[in-house]
Amino acid sequence: MDLDGIKALQKKLSNLIGVSGYEDEVSSFILSIIEEEGLADKAWKDPLGNILAIINGQQNDDRILFDAHTDEIGFMVSHIDPKGFLRFVPVGGWDTRIMLGQPVVIIADSGEQYHGIIGSIPPHLSSASERKKVVTIDKMYIDIGMTSKEEVESSQINVGTVGTLIAPFLELPNNMVRGKAFDDRTGCNVLIHLMRNMKNREELKETLLFNFATQEEIGRFGAVTG
């Protein structure tokens, strides 16, 4: 097992940004690997952004499907207040207990990235009862360092702009790693390595189908259409 190669690919996949519905960066990267390494007899991107690939077997009637999803949870800007703070709604399922203080990245409509942090009313300005409650997303905002709505919009950050959390890929003891979007870039990593292992196999009875699916976090749409 090429553990170094597995971790290297995991790092590349983890560091890509692919919020549900905006997976182009991830899907293009995966398709480029498949095409450049010749990992499939046929590979293409469908209208929903899924990457589909086929490795032909001797018995075309017997098929096995492998599926992993390319998208990650994120958020979408829902309001920009006069002071430049961003209100947002979740894209996918978030655990609101861990969101406050998290660093984030906003992908402007121009493609430029802006960094910020999730904030809310600080504890010393909250009532005793409020301090005992988990802060809900509607009480949170994102501070990207801009001081007016006009400054934000001139940077091509608008209602509907998306972003996600920042969690740099790091290696830990005992061959452990951490990073963002391991759900499900790890699955994508597994499928790519499976394709590499199957590439030069002389006897393959079943035809293998691969679907790197989009929009799993908001309804498994890529898996349904793929």
Asked if the model's pLDDT at residue 221 lies above 70, the reply is no
pLDDT tens by residue, 143-192: 999 999 999 999 999 999 999 999 999 999 999 999 999 999 999 999 99
User: Which residues belong to the active site?
Assistant: 216
Number of domains in the chain: 2
Asked if the model's pLDDT at residue 226 lies above 60, the reply is no
Q: Does residue 171 belong to any structural domain of this protein? A: no
Same domain, yes or no: 101 and 149 = yes
Instruction: Please state, for a pLDDT cut of 70, what percent of the chain lies above it.
Output: 96
What pLDDT score does 58 carry? 85
- Give me the CATH number covering residue 47: 3.40.630.10
Same domain, yes or no: 104 and 119 = yes
pLDDT tens by residue, 29-68: 999 999 999 999 999 999 999 999 999 988 777 899 999 9
Range of the domain at 37: 3-68+181-225
What pLDDT score does 114 carry? 98
Q: Does residue 126 belong to any structural domain of this protein? A: yes
Same domain, yes or no: 82 and 131 = yes
- By DSSP bridging, strand 59-69 and strand 206-213 are parallel
Enter the pTM of the model.
0.91
Same domain, yes or no: 151 and 80 = yes
Residue 47: burial class (beta carbons within 10 Å; 0-12, 13-18, 19+) = exposed
- Give me the CATH number covering residue 148: 2.40.30.40
